[in-house]
């Protein structure tokens, strides 16, 4: 057994997220966590809501609520949605927590003591109309690099280029829409990333197993233009972690807060502290430190992060610079699994245009496993992928209903009609069954290999092939025909097939946990042991073991449903 720390990029608090956000971080992280637990490993799976910065302020203002109240409400909303999708977090925290405030201020103080923070007097966008300085996310305009017309003042979401607000073409205030912006002098703190470039580059170069998407983005930022730049880590905002050096005031920084991208990754660590303080931790010494402090046991932890490609620069450069620059024994990430974007039906998801399926809406119309399976089996790993209703309908109907659901239904109903609701005895396995076991053994080992490597789509394809193998065996063995001449032989075939139902439940649990439970419940067993020995696994349910015929596991999506949903979520076309 090994120990695995898993974190998913923490979602902004400003509203309910669409399906692309889900498949780009939280859902594959949950897949990996569930798989590792199923293999007997010790897992700590953490996530939180990202509650600071302009997104929170703007969303709260739009909702007409104090920002703290808005964040508390939206954390509850996002927490319930996470439960709805069966995301198995050990703790779902909040970046506005007291633990994160103290830890962020601690890191800032240590970095300053180590000479890695400098004060910079600079000019910043000021809006006379709004009567305030405008932090980068309060400014939008056209990206000078790719021409995207909704680039933010810190980064273009379209091309991921790091930006300064002054670089935007035709910038405007996102508060009032005012364009009469002017530059005024202010003072901020900068993290001296440039001083750590060589150390960061060597660390990134040592990660030869990282996905190309992750390393290419990291190296682009390392070497783009004049190389890795120092990064401002404070903002002129009311809401956030107050700028302090440890527990001491920071002269000249009164009224400022830390930049959200400085404090948000630190929440991964603080989240483990929240887990302890919430009473969820086992009663052991160093309950959270053993995951995060290499001097307290975290040296033997494997740490994996999951995120969309737009988050990669902050996790490969900014957060590691904070950890390394502190000089303290914090655990660094071992593997970063990054994802491209999921687009929606020929365009992009759009909150403002009501275009696309958002997470709460998805759970309203279909159970979580329908979405989990399709999204994971189409995860945007090597390139952007696209959600279409035709593709979703086809994936659900063919994979879940026709292959897995049909197999379980045929086996259990046939057994009930011929042998009753107990596993029949039957004759010992023959050549046909031995061939199936050999095939399944090879496929399960391949499935494990893909899951270990976090190759999500390949793992889904192999799992489907495992389901198909059972259907092909059933079709070839034809126990309904064999029963007429040799009921004892047919009983043996069905005994194997019922054990396949249990085996499929175990293997499928990381992808479709609710259905997995329904299958185990139908087989009246809680034995979810991993099939290290496939032949032994297919003898788990002995003759005489009772079972029940489950309800239909997956209802097919009709053309009428598909057409209705397609129209409902079309929104305003771009």
* Cα–Cα distance measured from residue 46 to residue 5, given in angstroms and rounded to the nearest whole number: 8
Residue-wise over 138-170: b if at least 16 C-beta within 10 A, else e? bbbbbbeeeebeebbbbbbebebbbbebebbee
- Could you tell me which residues are annotated as the binding site for Zn(2+)? 143, 146, 156, 159
572 touches 354 (CB < 8 A): yes
Tell me the β-bridge partners of 18: 358
* Cα–Cα distance measured from residue 235 to residue 473, given in angstroms and rounded to the nearest whole number: 63
Nearest CA to 79 among 360, 278, 376? Answer: 360
- Could you tell me which residues are annotated as the binding site for ATP? 351
Strand order in the sheet with 91-94: 91-94, 42-49, 3-8, 301-308, 335-339
342 touches 385 (CB < 8 A): yes
488 touches 481 (CB < 8 A): no
Q: Decide: residue 251, CB within 10 A, 0-12 exposed, 13-18 middle, 19+ buried.
A: exposed
How far is CA 116 from each of CA 81, 91, 247, 257, 265, rounded to the nearest angstrom? 40, 32, 18, 18, 18
**What six digits make up the tokens of 232?**
């401002």
168 touches 154 (CB < 8 A): no
- Could you tell me which residues are annotated as the binding site? 143, 146, 156, 159, 351
Tell me the β-bridge partners of 503: none
550 touches 518 (CB < 8 A): yes
* Cα–Cα distance measured from residue 242 to residue 292, given in angstroms and rounded to the nearest whole number: 24
Strand order in the sheet with 132-133: 132-133, 117-127, 182-191, 231-232
* Cα–Cα distance measured from residue 110 to residue 106, given in angstroms and rounded to the nearest whole number: 6
DSSP tag of 348: -
SS3 for 165-209, per residue? Answer: HHHCEEEEECCCCCCCCEEEEEEEEEECHHHHHHHHHHHHHCCCC
35 touches 451 (CB < 8 A): yes
Q: What is the Cβ-side half-sphere exposure of residue 93, based on CA atoms within 13 angstroms?
A: 31
Three-state DSSP class for residue 164: coil
218 touches 312 (CB < 8 A): yes
Instruction: Transcribe 379-391 into DSSP letters.
Output: --SSS-EEE-HHH
CB contact set of 245 (below 8 Å; sequence gap of 6+): 105, 108, 109, 112
* Cα–Cα distance measured from residue 231 to residue 214, given in angstroms and rounded to the nearest whole number: 20
């Amino acid at each position: 057994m090994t120990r695995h720390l898993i974190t998913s990029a923490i979602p902004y608090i400003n509203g309910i997220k669409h399906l692309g956000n889900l498949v780009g971080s939280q859902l594959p992280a949950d897949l990996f966590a569930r798989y590792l637990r199923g293999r007997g490993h010790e897992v700590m799976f953490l996530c939180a809501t990202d509650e600071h910065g302009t997104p929170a302020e703007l969303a709260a203002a739009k909702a007409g609520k104090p920002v703290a109240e808005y964040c508390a409400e939206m954390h509850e909303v996002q927490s319930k949605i996470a439960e709805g999708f069966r995301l198995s977090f050990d703790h779902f925290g909040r970046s506005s927590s007291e633990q994160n405030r103290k830890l962020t201020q601690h890191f800032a103080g240590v970095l300053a003591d180590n000479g890695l923070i400098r004060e910079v007097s600079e000019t910043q966008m000021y809006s006379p109309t709004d009567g305030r300085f405008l932090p980068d996310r309060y400014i939008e305009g056209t990206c000078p690099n790719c021409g995207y017309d909704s680039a933010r003042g810190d980064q273009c979401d379209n091309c991921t280029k790091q930006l300064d607000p002054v670089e935007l073409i035709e910038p405007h205030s996102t508060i009032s829409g005012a364009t009469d912006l002017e530059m005024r002098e202010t003072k901020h703190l900068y993290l001296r990333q440039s001083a750590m470039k060589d150390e960061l580059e060597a660390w990134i170069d040592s990660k030869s197993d990282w996905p190309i998407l992750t390393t290419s983005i990291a190296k682009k930022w390392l070497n783009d233009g004049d190389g890795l730049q120092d990064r401002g880590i404070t903002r002129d905002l009311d809401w956030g972690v107050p700028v302090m050096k440890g527990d001491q005031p920071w002269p000249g920084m009164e009224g400022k807060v830390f930049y959200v991208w400085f404090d948000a990754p630190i929440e991964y660590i603080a989240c483990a502290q929240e887990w302890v303080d919430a009473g969820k931790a086992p009663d052991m010494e160093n309950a959270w430190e053993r995951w995060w402090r290499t001097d307290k046991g975290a040296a033997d932890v494997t740490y994996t992060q999951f995120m969309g490609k737009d988050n990669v620069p902050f996790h490969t450069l900014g957060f590691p610079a904070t950890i390394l620059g502190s000089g303290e024994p914090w655990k660094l990430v071992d593997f970063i699994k990054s994802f491209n974007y999921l687009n929606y039906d020929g365009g992009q998801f759009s909150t403002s245009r009501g275009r696309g399926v958002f997470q709460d809406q998805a759970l309203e119309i279909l159970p979580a496993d329908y979405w989990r399976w399709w999204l994971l089996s189409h995860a945007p790993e090597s390139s952007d992928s696209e959600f279409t209703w035709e593709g979703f309908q086809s994936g659900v109907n063919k994979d879940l209903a026709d292959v897995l659901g049909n197999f379980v239904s045929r086996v259990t109903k046939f057994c009930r009609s011929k042998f009753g609701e107990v596993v029949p005895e039957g004759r010992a396995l023959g050549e046909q069954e031995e061939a199936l076991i050999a095939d399944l053994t090879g496929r399960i080992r391949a499935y494990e290999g893909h899951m270990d490597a976090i190759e999500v789509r390949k793992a889904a394809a192999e799992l489907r092939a495992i389901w198909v193998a059972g259907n092909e065996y059933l079709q070839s063995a034809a126990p309904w025909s064999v029963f007429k001449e040799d009921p004892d032989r047919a009983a043996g075939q069905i005994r194997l097939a019922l054990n396949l139902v249990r085996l499929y439940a175990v293997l499928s649990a990381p992808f479709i946990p609710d259905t997995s439970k329904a299958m185990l419940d139908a087989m009246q067993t809680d034995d979810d042991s991993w099939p290290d020995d496939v032949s032994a696994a297919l003898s788990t349910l002995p003759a005489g073991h009772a079972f029940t015929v489950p309800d239909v596991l997956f209802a097919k999506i009709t053309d009428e449903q598909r057409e209705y949903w397609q129209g409902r979520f079309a929104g305003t076309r771009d």
